[in-house]
Structure 1
Amino acid sequence: MTDAASHYSTAVRIDSAGPPPRVTGVGLPLRFGVPLPRGRVTLPCKARLVSQRGEIVPVQLAPVTSWPDSSVRWMRVDAVIPIATEPLLPQMWQIEFEPSNGEMNRTASDTVSLDAGFSVHPNPDKHTVFDINKRSPPNHVCLSARVFVKTKNNSLRVGKSHLLRWHDSGPIRYEVVAEGTFPGVSGLMWRAALTIYPGLNGIHVKMTLRNTRRARHRGGLWDLGDPGSILLREFGLQLEVADPLKRLFWQAETSEDFHILEANAQVERLSRQNNSVKGLIWQILQASSGGENWRSFNHVNAHGVVTLPFRGYRIIMAGSELFGDRANPLCCAQTESFCYGLWVPYFWEEFPKRIDMTPKSATMAFLASSGDDLHELQGGEQKTYSAWLVLGDEGERGRDAVLAQLMALCCEPTALPEMATPVVELPTCLPTSASWRASQLAEFAEEAAFGPKGLLSGREEIDEYGWRHFGDVYASHEKLFYQGTLPFISHYNNQFDLLQGLILQRLLSGDPRWDQLIHPLARHVIDIDIYHTTRDRSTFNGALFWMTDHYLTAATATHRTFSRKNASHSGYGGGPSNEHNYTSGFALYYLLWGENDARDAVLSLANWVISMEDGRQTPFFLVDDGPTGLATATSSPDYHGPGRGSANSV
């Protein structure tokens, strides 16, 4: 660490949560946060990453929080680490800060140019999420993306945008967000966050689908089948391509070699069968988790029935079908004028998902149709998916570059700073990493997470997979006193601040395996466990749901605690309350990984506390509009002393 004022450096550990990359000549995108001592780094400033071999990599900076003297407290860093030779992970780098006289980042424009000769035009019209143009010939639109849903009546509705905002712009990445609705589908909104990496010729697409209605939760019961739910068959992103497909390179699992499918032969076959050229050339559908317990009671619908059609995934092509258990597909489509590649992270974990390839389109069905059953998005529930689109020239070199970049992205690179100085946001009693790794508590934590009865194994026991469940933790300890007749399903649902605990383990151990728990849990709690509506009572809007009720099965209440199946006495039921409100994990997640949705979760829960205490938002405001006391009560409305309620919400 340097001593000069206004100059500061600290170590950063770069690692991989997935298999190490097996390719070279590509880049690994990284986003991470760096805590800074008070008074050491002020704005404007610049920085760079320096490897142990002396390689220098530019970065993009954004201040996140500040000290009282206006110096930077946490800095968000974006970088692309080049893989020039076979990488050996983990690697230790230094990030070096120094003063700067210029602007930290560039200003945004309507389009973003990619290094391979393409430009990205976000939201060019109300019905298009983004266009991809080739700069030669000028203004040639080679690909357009549209978000869609299929309603319960199988009616196709294309999303219409109402808002476009640029968030980040700089040499490494650009981020722009579009939001909109689906005409004719009341209460359903979508959000597309596009992160564009010019140097990678890639776009990371994060798509969110939200039911903004309130749940009716009659009697304080939150089961599927509620009148506030929205039923639909499918949600996804369709890419319309100007040039017909020539050749498709694909693999269903990353352990496979790539297969080659000649599209012309497929089109001829479809023509002989009197199908149009819009016919399906290749499809992969992940219908269930593919695990031993794929038909778990965890996946019941509103009628208490599991309707998953088959185990694992199915591929349709060339008039034949192939089957397997767990797919993580990569595909690269080659046309006359360009190549494009697709990767959908958590493809099997967040089933059902599907990718369709036709001669002039590609469809990523994030929430794919599943037999005759419908998907039910509960009132105030949302789901976020992500996908990568990588572009290249039409020739072999462009195709190979696209495939190599996709394989590099699959390694899920991650970076975290070494905590060389005390960090205000961390507990002061934390041991050093060296002393922690040598302790018996570290052995216990290892067993609890990765052992035969640990958190990861619990996923398999009740099949904690699928779009709604993946990321949550099986509360196996609740099974000890269960006396019901239905299969036992219990969700920990961030009971206490599990996310914070996992992050602390990650920092102390330096082990990237903890990421397998951290990132899915954060995503699950943000999407499923927070009540994303403003249309209910002030004590519920934006709140965090409790865990599954103690020693009872979740039945059809999903992750919302109280089910009519468990209402054995009058007065049973309820809803979110101040005693179950955990934000420290979200705050750390935002600071360390720069995930804006985690910041928004903290703000949502903070606003919930303010609203529940505001007497003007109660039905009795004409009589008494003073503080309600709901934010400080614990166990009883009459007790406002030290306790879980005031500790968690005030």
Structure 2
Amino acid sequence: MPDVISLTIEEPTGVLRERWPVRRGVPLPRNELNSTSNIRLLNPAGDEHPCCVKESARWPDGSIKWILIDFQISIGPQESEIYKIEYGPDVVREKVDSNLTVESTSSDIRVNTDALSFFVDTRNFKLLEQVQHLGKHSPSELSQDFTIKRGDTVYRLSEGETHEVLLEEVNAFRSTIRASGTFGQPECFDYLVRITAFADLSWLEMELTFLNREDSEFTEISEIVFNNTLRRKKNVTGSCGSGRKIYSSTEPFYFYHEEVLENYGVFSGSSIYREDGTKVEGIGMYEQQLARGWLDESNQESGVCISMRDFVALYPKEVTWTPGQIDFSIWPERSCSLKLHQGMARTHTVMVHFHACDAATARVEELAAAFDEPLLPQNSDWYLESGAFGLVLPHLPDRYPLIERQLRDQTVQTRNTRSLGLVNFGDYVNPGTGSQGGFSTNNEPDRLHGFLIQHIRTGDRIAWGLVEAAVWHTIDIDMVHHTTRDPLELGGVRIHGHDHVQYDAEGYPNVSTVPSHMWTEGLLEYYHLTGHPRFYEAALSIGECFLRMVERGWTSPPYHSSWHSCRDSGWPLIGMAAVFEATGDHRFLEGMRSVFEAVRATQHDNGGWSIELFFNEGFCPFQIGVCLTGLARYHEATDDEKALNVFLRGIEFLGGEAMRFPDGTWMYITTNDYRSTYYSDSPLEPFGYAYHVSKNSKLIEKALKGWTRSLDLRATPRFLWAAHHAGLLQDG
């Protein structure tokens, strides 16, 4: 009998979806399958459902670890359906008949979904060209541009230099074109564009990324616009709205917001204004006429709707409609100038929806809302049992209702307190005063990984929203895409700081990247779940930055800063282990080995690693916990007995009394000035692996003495797995 994986798909938006694209990574256990040919998908009736499958990772034994599956489904509003993946040596998948055709030559790429066709010039890229809907130019020979205004000069993508245009991916259900180049002549910023079309559908997805590769430390930008020219000005109506509340007019209008009172839900959106600047009023505070990031122009015969994902949170934003023109101002000129730091980028994702009727008949408001909320096939038990996420406590609300409630509440509170705005969205501000008061945290320490674990455990869509915001912020804002300082930092991720940047931090001169503040696990997990290549590339880029730090000795004791300790080795071990697992590239294994040998050589006789503060030498449970988690990852990758011995000696020290208060809780640092209760669960995480390799429940008893029950989405679930299996986890 074949093995079966059930996937529950819930329609979250409350709208009918027809032939909606679904893409999801699904893990497989070790030694289960060697070929994607032996996989098929069954619909809720038990019949084979057309799909495409490719592998994205393999286990060390050569068996498939992750597959990426593409298919389309029709599902009613708020319905829930169960699809099943069958796999095994006797399973054979039927060939998919597809209406999607792609022709690629040295001069152009032509895509036809059967509902929509378009052309892309590979030598002089200008976004979409020659768009036809149902065989007709629709609407009126659409043309597009992506422009940046600096001072009085406008730089256009259509007038810039094309670096590369290629067909990145194609299967029976989707095709993606990737293009890169510069804005204008002379050059101003770089662009990266992805255009994804779907079989049989009349809408497509576009990712528009601008990258600041200017040499000045900051560049001031007055306006960034995604232009859509329809070249028709008679008998057309513009429409926008929020939910079922639609505003339509034959006269020009715009909607705009500088900031938001509500960053999610039914009360969030932009105010709508007529051409003369008068506001379109609603009734009362909660019945305002709002726009949620989509705008349609249509008549009775044809139309086009542009919709932007996360439009509200990525403020300021403005959308302007005049008959024949839809302009999405990614940064409106009416706002103050955007002062963008060297090496930063930002991506905006839009839907371009063509239809052969008026806006109401085309249900443009429903499709725009659906575009904001992808379908997410879910099977929490399977994803964790596969082993792809390591040792993580499954979702057990009946057994541990208080713990699960606390994790859920932490997720919601994180959503409610997140930063907003074009630069800040997807990050968080460190509250309070002191040396780091007001710092952007840059998602320290790998919050992305924690959000992903919570989503996988529970299927929680709020957690997935946090994942999406954090992952794009990380690779756009925090990643160094260009530098005129030390080239070591190129491709790394910046440490926390004011406005996401801090130079000369942690004792490392002329860089904004340091070994104690870069992470790859969450990026690679997101890649495996979505198949998006940018996140794989970003993780590898961080891995390369780690290797340069290893070469300079930055990841090994003695550390550059006297107040630093072994987390400067722990995070590089964790980050390089994830990249090594994803790539099999032994350079990362050698980098890990170099770090391990230095850590082994400096381990104290008591099993710990010290930290210096002024004239005092002390110990920091948090940093030792991070280092031990790194040693655990290294041991997993190598099965090195020496690494296991160093790890277990460290666990004994961490579980002992030397770094605790009399009540059992851990200190932040053992030196006098810093003897405060440490509330994060970072010291607990390595005890999960310690129990896994030793089955010694006394280690868990020792760890529980220091547990403040504050919970940490990243570190806690691995410890909770061990405490649960040891029979020692208590809910209250």
TM over 0.5: yes
Q: 2:380·2:458 contact (CA, 8 Å) conserved in 1?
A: no
Secondary structure of 2:235's partner?
strand
Q: Does 1:405 align with 2:367?
A: yes
- Measure how far apart 1:39 and its partner are: 4.4
Provide the residue aligned with 1:175 in structure 2. Answer: 176
Provide the residue aligned with 1:126 in structure 2. Answer: 124
Specify whether residues 44 and 61 from structure 1 end up closer, same or farther in structure 2 by C-alpha distance, changes over 3 A only.
closer
- Measure how far apart 1:260 and its partner are: 2.8
Secondary structure of 1:521's partner?
helix
5+ residue gaps, structure 2, are 104-108, 282-287, 574-591, 593-732
Secondary structure of 2:194's partner?
strand
- Measure how far apart 1:318 and its partner are: 5.8
Specify whether residues 501 and 397 from structure 1 end up closer, same or farther in structure 2 by C-alpha distance, changes over 3 A only.
closer
> Which amino acid is the alignment partner of residue 253 of structure 1?
S
Secondary structure of 2:127's partner?
strand
Which of these residues, 570, 591, 600, is aligned with residue 537 of structure 2? 600
- Measure how far apart 1:385 and its partner are: 0.6
Work out the CA distance in 1 between the residues paired with 2:186 and 2:147. 11
Q: 2:21·2:73 contact (CA, 8 Å) conserved in 1?
A: yes
Which of these residues, 280, 304, 321, is aligned with residue 322 of structure 1? 280
5+ residue gaps, structure 1, are 215-226, 267-280, 293-310, 549-556, 614-626
- Measure how far apart 1:327 and its partner are: 4.1
Work out the CA distance in 2 between the residues paired with 1:640 and 1:516. 34
Which of these residues, 368, 374, 389, is aligned with residue 352 of structure 2? 389
Which of these residues, 219, 222, 225, is aligned with residue 233 of structure 1? 222
Q: Which has the higher contact order (CA 8 A, sep 6+)?
A: 1
Secondary structure of 1:539's partner?
helix
Work out the CA distance in 2 between the residues paired with 1:523 and 1:250. 29
The alignment of Structure 1 onto Structure 2 pairs a total of residues equal to 549
* CA distances 1:215-267 after superposition (whole Å, capped 9, x unpaired): xxxxxxxxxxxx3222212223211214436333523322x422332x3xx3x
1:2-81 map, 5 Å: 3-4=1-2, 8-15=3-10, 20-22=13-15, 24=16, 26-43=18-35, 45=37, 47-54=39-46, 57-68=49-60, 70-81=62-73
Specify whether residues 455 and 326 from structure 1 end up closer, same or farther in structure 2 by C-alpha distance, changes over 3 A only.
farther
Secondary structure of 2:13's partner?
coil
Q: 2:295·2:305 contact (CA, 8 Å) conserved in 1?
A: yes
> Which amino acid is the alignment partner of residue 78 of structure 1?
D
> Which amino acid is the alignment partner of residue 171 of structure 1?
A
- Measure how far apart 1:30 and its partner are: 2.1
Q: Does 1:587 align with 2:531?
A: no
The structure with the larger Rg is 2
1:130-169 map, 5 Å: 130-131=128-129, 132-134=131-133, 136=135, 142-159=141-158, 160=160, 161-169=162-170
- Indicate the structure with greater helix content: 2
Q: 2:237·2:299 contact (CA, 8 Å) conserved in 1?
A: no
Q: 1:436·1:442 contact (CA, 8 Å) conserved in 2?
A: no
Q: TM-score, normalized by length of structure 2?
A: 0.68
Secondary structure of 2:120's partner?
strand
Which of these residues, 232, 240, 258, is aligned with residue 246 of structure 2? 258
* CA distances 1:516-560 after superposition (whole Å, capped 9, x unpaired): 211111111111111112643233111111123xxxxxxxx3011
Specify whether residues 401 and 198 from structure 1 end up closer, same or farther in structure 2 by C-alpha distance, changes over 3 A only.
farther
Work out the CA distance in 2 between the residues paired with 1:166 and 1:343. 24
Secondary structure of 1:162's partner?
strand
Secondary structure of 2:535's partner?
helix
Q: Does 1:540 align with 2:489?
A: yes
Secondary structure of 1:258's partner?
strand
Which of these residues, 390, 406, 409, is aligned with residue 427 of structure 1? 390
Work out the CA distance in 1 between the residues paired with 2:113 and 2:29. 36
CA-atom RMSD in angstroms? 3.5
Q: 2:318·2:328 contact (CA, 8 Å) conserved in 1?
A: yes
Q: 2:518·2:572 contact (CA, 8 Å) conserved in 1?
A: yes
> Which amino acid is the alignment partner of residue 348 of structure 1?
V
- Measure how far apart 1:156 and its partner are: 4.7
Secondary structure of 1:190's partner?
strand
Q: Does 1:283 align with 2:254?
A: yes
Which of these residues, 618, 629, 637, is aligned with residue 553 of structure 2? 629
Q: 1:202·1:390 contact (CA, 8 Å) conserved in 2?
A: yes
Secondary structure of 1:200's partner?
coil
Work out the CA distance in 2 between the residues paired with 1:437 and 1:115. 51
> Which amino acid is the alignment partner of residue 465 of structure 1?
L
Q: Does 1:88 align with 2:51?
A: no
Q: Does 1:561 align with 2:502?
A: yes
- Measure how far apart 1:512 and its partner are: 1.7
- Measure how far apart 1:644 and its partner are: 3.3
1:503-514 map, 5 Å: 503-514=452-463
Provide the residue aligned with 1:616 in structure 2. Answer: none
Work out the CA distance in 2 between the residues paired with 1:611 and 1:602. 15
Which of these residues, 407, 426, 436, is aligned with residue 445 of structure 1? 407
Specify whether residues 60 and 142 from structure 1 end up closer, same or farther in structure 2 by C-alpha distance, changes over 3 A only.
farther
Provide the residue aligned with 1:331 in structure 2. Answer: 295
Q: 2:273·2:279 contact (CA, 8 Å) conserved in 1?
A: yes
Q: 1:531·1:541 contact (CA, 8 Å) conserved in 2?
A: yes
* CA distances 1:111-152 after superposition (whole Å, capped 9, x unpaired): 222343x31212366251112124645899721222211122
> Which amino acid is the alignment partner of residue 88 of structure 1?
E
- Measure how far apart 1:77 and its partner are: 1.6
Work out the CA distance in 2 between the residues paired with 1:134 and 1:377. 38
Structure 1 vs Structure 2: percent identity of aligned residues?
A: 17
Specify whether residues 27 and 330 from structure 1 end up closer, same or farther in structure 2 by C-alpha distance, changes over 3 A only.
farther
Specify whether residues 49 and 571 from structure 1 end up closer, same or farther in structure 2 by C-alpha distance, changes over 3 A only.
closer
* CA distances 1:28-77 after superposition (whole Å, capped 9, x unpaired): 33221011234444445275543434465422223211245654321112
